Amino acid sequence: MLLFQKRFHAGLLDGSVRLTFRRWQKPHVRPGGRYRCHPIGVLEVDQVDRVPVRSIAEDEARLAGFSSREELLLFMTDGPAGPVTAATEVWRVAFHHGGDGDRIEIALDDRLSSEDVDALARRLARLGDWALPTLKLISRRPRIAASALAKSLGRERDPFKVDVRKLKRLGLTQSFEVGYELSPRGRALLARLPRRASAPARPRRSSRRR
């Protein structure tokens, strides 16, 4: 778990905060790891390095959510470890917001066999003619509000969101504070599906087949 004060949450969500500096004895996170950050969801770590305080630049301090390098150093000093010096070594962690944390584990598995692709294609077909166009729309327009995505398909927002959750249960999408993205599994599937044009999904009037 990566903990942040409430004042950093908005920046973590919008991506303006994507660095943190920690005075750990040893690293508590690893590159590629996904860590819960309540209440914003999951942070995915990209890189972990041990660096001296003197190497921290002004722009890195801003990427860590501070107005200046001086503010960052004061923040790091305000704790049981005591003051920092130019030679003090800290852990520099680069990360990005990785979704709402409610992602099915299989969503990370992008090693799809031909049988996997065929099975998922059949599942999408059984869901209805909205499924594949919706998957492609999310691929083209990541992190766009559900209301805007639904409108582009001529649908109401709430039924649209219900349907996207069905794609999520297949491990194909992940949710963010605003909008969605394809999961690694979803991207792999879309790359393997036959490249044929799909007409926009029609508004769904009834779940029953005629």
Domain boundaries, the chain: 6-97, 105-192
pLDDT of residue 177: 64
Neighbours of 44 (CB within 10 A): 15
**The tokens of 166 are what?**
């069905």
Stretch 23-48: mean pLDDT, rounded? 88
Residue 105 has pLDDT above 70, yes or no: no
Domain 6-97 has CATH 3.10.400.10: yes
Strand pairing category for 41-52 and 89-97: antiparallel
CATH no., domain 105-192:
1.10.10.10
**Cα three-residue angle 195-128-204, rounded to 5 degrees:** 120
Helix then strand count (H, E) for the chain reads 8, 6
**The tokens of 181 are what?**
């993205």
What is the distance between the terminal CA atoms of the chain, rounded to a whole angstrom? Answer: 49
Q: What is the pLDDT of residues 120-162, one digit of tens each?
A: 999 999 999 999 999 999 999 998 999 999 999 999 999 999 9
Of residues 38 and 142, more confidently modeled: 142
Q: List residues bridging with 51 in a β-sheet.
A: 90
Distance (Å) of CA 108 to CA 34, 58, 187:
11, 35, 10
The type of residue at 63 is: L
Mean predicted lDDT score pLDDT of the chain:
87
Q: What is the pLDDT of residues 188-201, one digit of tens each?
A: 999 999 754 343 44
Look at residue 182 and give its three-state secondary structure: strand
What is the pTM for the complete model shown?
0.53
Sign for the pseudo-dihedral over CA of 40, 45, 48, 51: negative
Distance (Å) of CA 48 to CA 19, 53, 70, 85, 91:
10, 15, 22, 21, 7
**Spatial contact of 99 and 181, defined as CB atoms under 8 Å apart:** yes
Q: Give the largest CA-CA distance in the chain.
A: 73
